[in-house]
């Protein structure tokens, strides 16, 4: 009779090892399902006009402020203004499948506004639950947008061809349908109208646009990146919700040549306050915070931006945060409960 082989001291029994592995596998599967499952956003009413700040940050890789992106939902359309870093994650947190985005509108082609575009384009093509785009990828943007999408198609050609062959994904759905825009109405479908507003991001950074989105007598205007712009004030007049970028630096850093260039391309708080005062929105909201600092001199805080704006504007004002959302009613703009990232 052969004796039972001795088990090394401290070794787990084989069936215990299997059970442990099964538990760990179950936890991993559950975690992955939780990550991919649709977020439970507040349901959208049939006639609701909702605006969600997906990203309110800058090129700085901040965990609480992802790259610039604004989701506008109205008239059955899901429209995305810019596609900055982390936009796909924020779309999921806002309760959308990536394939539910009907069109993307690019304010300009700086990398922080478009770096999330290939993720949305490629990942939205997948036919998993979190993606499921059914038609071409629709993009409106300034001159250079077609070249951008053509370049992405070349860069990701291996992935595209592999997925067509291996997963039988529809080649028509990875096609980018690009419209290079000029100032004026660029989109008018189902009662939703989008007007491109030429703004001033600097002499060497043309063209750059803001967008005004209108539906059923209500509107939101998103500034994009701009210096103080008379044209934006004119085109945004009477808008219900004005979402505007802002840049600031402490006085002791104004001599920094890099910071001087950055500030010269953006609107500072006191200037934005003048814009708000003249446009007279029901609510003004800051996004795309470009707050500059060094290891020795900390960046301006959002509370300081608010106080500086109050020198030139006394009306309704909010400091935007990622996943902050608003409902545009006929007579008011209502902030909705924020989904904490």
Catalytic residues: 112
Respond yes or no on whether the N-terminal peptide bond of residue 207 is cis (omega within 30° of 0).
yes
Tokens matching residue 111: 């990398």
**Measured between alpha carbons, how far is residue 29 from residues 18, 39, 90, 205, 318 in Å?**
16, 17, 22, 47, 40
CA distance 229 to 15: 71
Of 242, 233, 234, give the one whose Cα is nearest residue 213. Answer: 242
For residue 71, the 8-state DSSP code is E
What CA–CA distance (Å, rounded) separates 167 from 228?
49
Q: What angle do CA 40, 79, 204 make, to 5 degrees?
A: 130
CB hemisphere CA count around 53 (13 angstroms): 37
What 8-state DSSP symbol labels residue 251? Answer: G
Give the DSSP H/E element, type plus range, for residue 17: helix 14-36
Cα–Cα distance for residue pair 268/247, rounded to 1 Å: 5
The number of CA neighbours under 13 Å toward the Cβ of 192 is 20
């Amino acid at each position: 009779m052969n004796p039972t082989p001795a088990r090394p001291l401290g070794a787990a029994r084989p069936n215990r090892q299997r059970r442990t592995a099964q538990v760990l596998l179950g936890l991993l599967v559950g975690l992955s399902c939780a990550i991919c499952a649709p977020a439970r956003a507040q349901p959208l009413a049939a006639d609701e006009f909702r605006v969600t700040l997906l990203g309110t940050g800058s090129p700085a890789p901040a965990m609480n402020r992802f790259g610039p992106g604004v989701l506008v939902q109205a008239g059955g359309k899901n429209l995305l203004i810019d596609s900055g870093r982390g936009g796909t994650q924020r779309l999921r947190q806002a309760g959308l499948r990536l394939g539910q985005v009907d069109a993307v509108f690019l304010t300009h082609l700086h990398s922080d506004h478009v770096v999330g575009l290939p993720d949305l384009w490629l990942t939205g093509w997948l036919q998993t639950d979190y993606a499921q785009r059914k038609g071409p990828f629709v993009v409106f943007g300034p001159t250079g947008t077609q070249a951008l999408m053509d370049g992405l198609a070349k860069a990701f050609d291996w992935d595209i061809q592999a997925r067509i062959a291996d997963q039988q994904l529809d080649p028509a759905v990875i096609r980018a349908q690009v419209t290079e825009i000029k100032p004026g109405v660029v989109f008018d479908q189902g009662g939703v109208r989008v007007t491109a507003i030429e703004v001033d991001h600097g002499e060497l950074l043309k063209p750059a646009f803001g967008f005004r989105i209108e539906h059923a007598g209500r509107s939101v205007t998103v500034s994009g990146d701009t210096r103080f712009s008379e044209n934006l004030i004119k085109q945004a007049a009477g808008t219900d919700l004005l979402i505007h970028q802002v840049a600031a630096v402490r006085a002791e850093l104004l001599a920094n040549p890099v910071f001087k260039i950055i500030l010269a391309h953006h609107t500072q708080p006191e200037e934005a306050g003048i814009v708000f005062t003249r446009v007279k929105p029901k609510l003004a909201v800051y996004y795309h915070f470009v707050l500059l600092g060094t290891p020795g001199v900390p960046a301006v805080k959002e509370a300081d931006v608010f106080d500086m704006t109050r020198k030139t504007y006394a009306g309704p004002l909010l400091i935007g945060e990622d996943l902050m959302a608003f409902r545009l009613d006929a007579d008011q703009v209502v902030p909705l409960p924020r989904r904490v990232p």
